[in-house]
Structure 1
Amino acid sequence: MPKNETRCSCEPKPITVTQYKDGQWAVHPDVVSIEVPIKLNFNGEQHMLWAWPEHLEDLVAGHALLDLGGGSVKTTVEKVSEGEFTVTTGDAIENDLEPGKLHGSEMLGAMATFIAEEGQWHGTGCFHRAGVYNASTHTMLHRTEDIGRHNCVDRLAGWASRTETPLSGLVLMVSARVTASLCAKAIRAGYKFIISRSAVTSASIAMAEEHGVTLVGFARDQEKRFTVFHDLQTPRVLT
């Protein structure tokens, strides 16, 4: 569990901008998201991340697990100084469950609620979000936000390690496109069911096929549509 957990208001920074719109120039106040460098010490090496500076313990733990070879294990995060953390790993967490099945109507409704919830995006337009949905209990268990979409998935992994939650038994929902790098990170986290509001790529489809991952894109309730890019012979997406 985190030691000296870090939280801050992280309010957007007020600035003055010059904007061109409808053929006219204007100077007016605006706000931009705060982004800061984060130092992560893991296995005797230091790594650098850029992130929105809130709930950083989950971010650094998740990044160590998914990108630095930590695996599905418990973690301890210690704050060394402002913006610097050390992550150590502990016992393994069982992470080989089935995520269950979802009817299309439930999937669209869950995505609509997930996207509509108030968050950092509404102030700056600068944020992605990711969340984990329990198909058995029909509930969103946890949601994360960050400027980088990969950071959002890292934050979920850190939360899962802290709460000893196996991600393989949950559905990953993301606001961002599912590229090869994001899909690979999700697979390393243990996910077997990924739903995006946005597009996917040929590489992410190939990964989903190779690893038996259900991959859904363009899940948009307002348009009453979604696209199943890969599913199993016994589908996880139900009509």
Structure 2
Amino acid sequence: MLFLQRTIDDSRLCDASVPNRRTRSPAPDRPDSPRRVKNLSAADADGDVFPAAVLDEPRRGRPGRRIDGRQPGLRRHPPYRRFRWGTVPVFSRAHLGCPRGRTRRVDFGRREGQSVTGPLPLAQEVPVELMANGDRVAVLMCTPCNLDDLAAGHLFTRGMLRDPSRVLTIGACADLRVMTVTAPGAISTDSLGLGQVIASGCGSASIIANASALGTVPPGFSVDLETLKAWSAAMFRAAVLYRQTGGMHCAAIALPAEAPVPAGPAASLSIDGAPDGASYFVVREDVGRHNAVDKVIGRAFVDLADFSHAVILTSGRIAADMILKAAAAAVPVLVSRSIPTTTAFELAMAAGVTLVGRIGDKEPIVYTCPERIR
């Protein structure tokens, strides 16, 4: 074995005239090379590079890498993550930022006047801008998880998108703050309230304004009450964020065993592992209950599910906008562990949607169209 020994001149270690790490003078400031940071207010014309914002502070460390001949310090725009329908797993959305239970160390007071610092669970809520063919549709206050399903379901339940086969791509910015849907000629923007901010605690006012165009869900579908109880229990077992934080909503969409099998490219991922009595089962979570409903409807819309045999289950109370979403998709049964509002009850009566409340109780309440419940 060969050993290599490095020879060191000891005289250099003792010679104060030789500059070393301790004796050399600090590097002079370089005012001509200021530190640059991202300016998120605007992008270049090509949309992939943010301009730099010049600060008065000197640059520290190595200069930034040159990108395509541009000045040092410039960084590229976070790339869009695109995918085609059916190529993304339903239960594995790490690329779309499916969050786990969030905790943050905060100070909170007690009645005794003492303050304690510790991790507390928080429900994640961020504004996500939804763009459709270059038009700003809405800004959704939501949980940045399964955003592709949320975009598809929101456009579908608002009547702006009817044919999933014409959707080319859905792109999510790397920071999950912008969703872009590309479907040339398939998205109608002749809708009320484009560009509005939709809070997580309530639905869209434009959807309520379109209640006059509410259709009627055809009869003919029925489901067993015990089956609904089993599906509701399965939904809560699959709601991971709901259990971790206690501040999330969850929703599920289920098809009974006798329903036609969805023909979407990724539908098999929602068929495997379905609870007893269901041939198709999808669970989604969000800080807003109507967002969770949009997510499950969007997933079933992509999977080409037959909504005339579908059941939607939710953890929150049934509000008016949820009835309109179910009626827009022609879903006959809507189930909740809570109760409906008065407006939701009236809209369900007009649309022919079966409402089942208090599904976790020993005796659930069937509010409307009881002929569908066996």
User: Which TM-score band (shorter chain)?
Assistant: 0.7 to 0.9
Q: Work out which of the residue numbers 144, 156, 179 in structure 2 matches 1:85.
A: 179
- Higher RCO (CA < 8 A, seq sep 6+): 1
Within 5 Å, give how 1:122-201 maps onto structure 2.
122-137=243-258, 138-139=277-278, 141-201=281-341
Q: Work out which of the residue numbers 40, 43, 64 in structure 1 matches 2:130.
A: 40
Is the Cα contact below 8 Å between 2:171 and 2:181 reproduced in 1? no
Quote the offset at 1:177 in angstroms.
Answer: 0.5
Is the Cα contact below 8 Å between 2:100 and 2:241 reproduced in 1? no
Unpaired runs of 5+ residues, structure 2, are 1-81, 89-94, 187-216, 259-276
Is the Cα contact below 8 Å between 1:12 and 1:32 reproduced in 2? yes
Distance in 2, matches of 1:141 and 1:125, equals 23
Q: Which amino acid aligns with 1:45?
A: D
Is the Cα contact below 8 Å between 2:218 and 2:352 reproduced in 1? no
The DSSP-based 3-state class of the residue aligned with 1:225 is coil
Please say which of residues 110-119 and 223-232 is displaced more in the overlay.
110-119
Q: Work out which of the residue numbers 359, 364, 370 in structure 2 matches 1:219.
A: 359
Residue in 1 aligned with 2:373?
237
Distance in 2, matches of 1:207 and 1:9, equals 33
Residue in 2 aligned with 1:107?
228
| Aligned residue pairs, count | 230
Bigger radius of gyration, 1 or 2? Answer: 2
Quote the offset at 1:99 in angstroms.
Answer: 7.4
Residue in 2 aligned with 1:30?
120
Distance in 2, matches of 1:39 and 1:26, equals 38
Distance in 2, matches of 1:79 and 1:39, equals 12
Do the aligned partners of residues 85 and 24 (structure 1) sit closer, same or farther apart at CA in structure 2, a change above 3 Å counting?
Answer: same
The DSSP-based 3-state class of the residue aligned with 1:64 is helix
Instruction: Render the CA deviation track for 1:201-239: whole Å, top value 9, x for unaligned.
Output: 22112111111111111111xx3120010015xx1111x
Distance in 2, matches of 1:201 and 1:191, equals 19
The DSSP-based 3-state class of the residue aligned with 2:292 is helix
Quote the offset at 1:20 in angstroms.
Answer: 5.2
Do the aligned partners of residues 160 and 117 (structure 1) sit closer, same or farther apart at CA in structure 2, a change above 3 Å counting?
Answer: closer
Q: Which amino acid aligns with 1:38?
A: V
Do the aligned partners of residues 214 and 8 (structure 1) sit closer, same or farther apart at CA in structure 2, a change above 3 Å counting?
Answer: same
The DSSP-based 3-state class of the residue aligned with 1:102 is coil
Residue in 1 aligned with 2:154?
63
| TM-score, length of structure 1 as denominator length | 0.83
Q: Which has the higher strand share?
A: 1
Residue in 1 aligned with 2:100?
11
Residue in 2 aligned with 1:203?
343
Instruction: Percent identity, please.
Output: 25
Is the Cα contact below 8 Å between 1:100 and 1:169 reproduced in 2? yes
Distance in 2, matches of 1:117 and 1:132, equals 13
Instruction: Render the CA deviation track for 1:18-76: whole Å, top value 9, x for unaligned.
Output: 44567674512213132222121125421211221122111112112213622364434
Do the aligned partners of residues 117 and 23 (structure 1) sit closer, same or farther apart at CA in structure 2, a change above 3 Å counting?
Answer: farther
Distance in 2, matches of 1:166 and 1:88, equals 24
Instruction: Render the CA deviation track for 1:180-213: whole Å, top value 9, x for unaligned.
Output: 1121122112211111111112211211111111
Is the Cα contact below 8 Å between 2:133 and 2:180 reproduced in 1? no
Q: Which amino acid aligns with 2:321?
A: S
